[in-house]
Structure 1
Amino acid sequence: MVLIETYLFIDLEATGLPEEENNQTKITELSLVAVSRKHLLTTKAGEAPRVQRKLTLCFNPGRAIRPIAEKLSGLTNVMLDGEPMFGHDTCRLMEMFIKLLNRPVCLVSHGGNYLDFPVLKKQLYEANVSLPFDLRYIDSLDVFYCVTEGANAIGSGFPHSLKIRLAKSYKLRDVYGRLLGRPPPQTHRAEADCLLVLECAVALSSKFVDWVDKHCKLFSQQKCLGS
């Protein structure tokens, strides 16, 4: 078990779902919001830590954005025409941002095992860049489900990899509503979604921290999309 010092909440918007794009999905927006263990634990439920480190970038994906993804994210190919493509410089920027944080660092993404982590890993691979070797990751969907339901750790890709029907929805907006007692102000904007997951983590406090310490994995072990 490792004691995480920094939680790096990550969310990305993309051109579509991998199964609809033959695993050629590209990132259109990426946001990172870093918060220390101390600040997460000492922030009152219903609030977000005052001290945050942020990085948010938009990208020209170099391929058509599917209509449903365009509708959800509000990003169009025309809007992103002048933005840089996700490449080597972007990856180096991410690497330097992460190196500024107190280690160990853990990436936290809602549904990340299914989309964010494999898509990011593939784009890092294509740019021939690796993030710090000791970087860890966790899917907050797993955390929120296991902590609130009292379940054991679940496998990669849950719930997409398992043919089960949950009694309650674990979409981010629904988890947020149950834990915070109010509807989320905005969804499907990368930075906004990072902050929603952060507020949910604050609401669970030590339960969130303890579960992540026990179950986070090395990001170097994460597979690329399609592999």
Structure 2
Amino acid sequence: MLARAKKRLLAAIFKVSLVAPQMAQIKTFAFLDLETTGLPWAEGNKTKITEITVLTVQSSHIALGVMPRVQNKLTLCVYPRKMVSPESERITGLSNDILEHMAPFSSETVQMINGFLNHCPKPICFVAHNGNRFDYPILQRELHLTGAKLLDDILCIDSLEAFRELYNKPSAPVVVPQQERTFESTGSVLPIEFQDGFDELLCKAVDDFESGPEKRLKYALEVQKINETTPKKVINNVISNGNLKVSGLRSNEHGQKVKKSLNFGVSFKLVDVYKRLTNQEPMEAHHAEGDVLMLALCAATLGDTFIEWANCNKKYFCDIPKMEPGKRIGM
């Protein structure tokens, strides 16, 4: 009996030792964007970096819901030692001629990036748009070729996946209101639950009811018409701009049921997400610096919603497979 209890205790201890420690909450978001010689599929997965920008912002500042004042930014142009494709040159404005005197991506480049990241509170989480299938595998290949490594505990998320999932989340705003209404007496912001127009409709109905029998009869008929109408499902705080959304359920890596949307006609290119979220025209796209600024502003617009999604879906950057010739990215 004693031997059996001892075995059960040892098994329990062994099982606990195998459980991975829970990742700490993100303290710093490092918005990352790469410009490259071309697209991997067109270059046999031998694509090289021509420009890299990292913009770091504290998570607690993103939670404020506005673009933070405190930002740290690193932008490096590098000589790719490979021909830049004509299409990439046209889009990014970077060519072999103007990059000729830039240093190539090397272990010194990695040391510079690590020094920059060490300036920020940890844990640090990379954020890149389509990062899982573009920025992260390409950066991992460059790191592999130099033999250098980034900080071991860096986390990462893909903002493309984030915006797709949050687009279908009822509590997530899709468009920032152009002007928030305020209480006239105090000037404070009117809570969102009071901005749906229902209170004005209710007050008008009471005024009409109290004004006389004719209006009471009219009101009764309107109520009867509403009661005889099949109710329609309303999703608050989501503006789809007339686009059809079809949602289903799928399981994420944690086994939780999450929405999956076909999003017919909805574009999740960074410039389109930026326009939907901010009601502003895009900054200079396909320049690494402009792209990270747009990405950071999109995250700040969503605030706590973005932070919550990131903490639930983060993973270690070192676990991202590098881009390899002849092998599909992400496999």
CA distance in 2, matches of 1:223, 1:17: 17
Deviation for aligned residue 1:152: 6.0
In the alignment, is the contact (CA less than 8 A) between 1:14 and 1:69 conserved in 2?
Answer: yes
**What is the aligned partner in structure 1 of residue 72 from structure 2?**
53
Flag as ranges the 4+ runs of structure 1 deviating above 2 A: 150-155, 164-167
* Change in CA separation of 1:152 and 1:197 when aligned onto 2, cut-off 3 Å: farther
CA distance in structure 2 between the partners assigned to 1:16 and 1:181 by the alignment? 30
Q: Quickly say closer, same or farther: Cα 1:149–1:3, change in 2 above 3 A.
A: same
From 10, 14, 18, give the equivalent of 2:36.
Answer: 14
Which whole-Å CA distance do the structure 2 matches of 1:152 and 1:96 have between them? 40
Compared CA separation, residues 153 and 74, structure 1 to 2 (3 A): farther
SS of 1:113's equivalent in the other structure is helix
- Equivalent position amino acid for 1:25 in 2: T
Distance in 2 separating the partners of 1:147 and 1:12: 24
Equivalence for 1:89: 108
Sequence identity (%): 36
Taking CA–CA contacts closer than 8 Å with sequence separation of 6 or more, which of the two structures ends up with the larger relative contact order? 1
Number of equivalences? 216
After superposition, the CA RMSD in angstroms is 1.7
1:223 aligns with 2:310: no
Q: Distance in 1 between matches of 2:164 and 2:263?
A: 13
Matches of 2:265 and 2:148, distance apart in 1: 41
TM-score of the aligned structures, taking structure 2 as reference length? 0.63
- State the one-letter code of the partner of 1:70: E
2 CA distance for matches of 1:153 and 1:135?
Answer: 25
From 170, 173, 183, give the equivalent of 2:271: 173
Name 1:145's counterpart in structure 2: 164
Measured after TM superposition, the shift of residue 103 of structure 1 is 0.7
Matched with 2:139 is 120
Deviation, 1:167, is 3.3
Indicate how the Cα distance of structure 1 residues 154 and 85 shifts in structure 2: closer, same or farther if over 3 A, else same.
farther
Tell me, in whole angstroms, the C-alpha distance in 1 between the residues paired with 2:128 and 2:279.
21
Q: Is the 8 A contact 1:12 1:31 kept in 2?
A: yes
State whether residues 142 and 154 of structure 1, in contact with CA within 8 Å, keep that contact through their aligned partners in structure 2.
no
Q: Does 1:25 align with 2:123?
A: no
Deviation of the 1:153 alpha carbon? 7.3
Q: TM-score, normalised by structure 1?
A: 0.91
Any stretches of 5+ residues in structure 2 without a counterpart? 1-22, 170-248, 254-261
Alpha-carbon separation, structure 1, partners of 2:84 and 2:100: 12
Q: Out of 69, 87, 96, which is 1:68 matched to?
A: 87
In structure 1, how many angstroms separate the alpha carbons of the residues matched to 2:268 and 2:151?
30
Aligned-residue offset at 1:178 = 0.4
Q: What residue is the counterpart of 2:297 in the other structure? A: 199
Match of residue 161 from structure 1: none
CA distance in 1, matches of 2:251, 2:289: 27
Post-superposition Cα deviations, 1:18-60, rounded to whole Å, max 9, x if no partner, equal 111111100000000000011111243xxx2111011000011
Question: Aligned with 2:131: secondary structure?
Answer: coil
- In 2, the alpha carbon distance for the partners of 1:149 and 1:63 equals 41
Q: What one-letter code is carried by the residue in structure 1 that aligns with 2:64?
A: T
In our comparison, the structure showing a higher alpha carbon Rg is 2
